[in-house]
Amino acid sequence: MNVLGLIAFGAIVLAFVPSALGHGYIVDPAATWKDGYAVNGWGSSIDSNMWGAIDNAVYGYGTAATVAFFEAQFNSSGYNSLGQFIETNQVLYSDDIDKKCGYTVYDASARQTMPSSNLTYTGFTHPGPCEVWCDDTKVLFDYNCQASYPDIPAGIPYDESLCADANRFTVYWLAVHGAPWQVYTDCVWLDSGSGSGSAPSSVTETVSSSVATAPPTTSSGSTATATTAYPDTTSSSTTSTSTASTTSTATTPPTTAEVSSSSTAASSASTADEASTAAEAETTENSSESAAAALSSTTTSTSTETTSFKCSRRLRRD
């Protein structure tokens, strides 16, 4: 009975844990959110293999290794900000998501006042970098905001003077705990400004051709997984998954190996038939044995052809 009581109590406690603990978002200053989507969902993702596999001999294992790997690659990547990295490489969950502000939307009647000393974020529940801007001024950046601001909710000290008279506040967070990397972008419009403004200019600046970028969205490893974000409806997720499935099973011309296998099978079958006919002319017993041999040869040939075809399909699917 005591065990059952503990289980019941645990279930009650979990029922009252805020869903915001699963993912993070800005609460001070407070944002306005797009109707129909969870405020704590990630709106886009980035291929976690865009810089190749992590060298475990160099960086170790686990999320600490991923953070160290990201820092090393980002430092030499040519990107001038986390925001630029995100805007250049992200794959949006759907066309309804704003690539510059995620699930947050502009509402002139809901402008906010910047807090006096600390920004408040529900919590950086995953390791990864974050970056804060007020208009074109970078307020702060950290390679692992979970480690630097571990509290739930997270208080983030900042220099209030950097946001004086600002119109638009933007916070970026990239969670690198799994594949693909998850993008959280929140925008807040402030009472010291007017109009919707624009993203930080250095964020929207086009990177040079020498800078490594994620693969095209049609082949990116993050495209299909990006549909695991948290909208209130699943129609977009279903459509994306169906499209990915159709693409991966598209018919391709037969390979040289398949043609060769088919030709060999046909030749083997013809030889077996000739042997069987000759045997019938000698004795009935030999005829039966030859027919059995021909059947065995044909079965083996067919099995070989089928196996070759399946292997070929596996190769194409990979």
**Among candidates 63, 65, 79, which has minimal Cα distance to 131?**
79
Render pLDDT for 176-233 as a digit per residue (tens, 0 to 9). 999 999 999 999 999 999 999 999 999 999 999 999 999 875 433 333 333 333 333 3
Supply the mean pLDDT for the chain. Answer: 74
Write out the two tokens for 81: 């900000």
Tell me the domain boundaries of the chain: 17-248, 256-317
Render pLDDT for 15-70 as a digit per residue (tens, 0 to 9). 333 333 347 999 999 999 998 877 777 889 999 999 999 999 999 999 999 999 99
Burial per residue of 220-257, b for 16 or more beta-carbon CB atoms within 10 angstroms, e otherwise: bbbbbbbbebbbeeeebbeebeeeeeeeeeeeeeeeee
Grouping H, G, I as helix, E, B as strand and the rest as coil, residue 19 is helix
Render pLDDT for 69-78 as a digit per residue (tens, 0 to 9). 999 999 999 9
Q: How far apart are CA 129 and CA 172, in angstroms?
A: 8
Q: Identify whether the C-beta of residue 23 lies closer than 8 Å to the C-beta of residue 165.
A: no
Query: Averaging pLDDT over each range in 33-47, 165-179, 263-277, which range is the top one?
Result: 165-179
Whole-structure pTM value: 0.64
Confidence of residue 2 (pLDDT cuts 50, 70, 90): low
**Among candidates 176, 193, 7, which has minimal Cα distance to 112?**
193
Angle at 198 between CA 193 and CA 201, to 5 degrees: 115
User: Is the pLDDT score of 140 beyond 90?
Assistant: yes
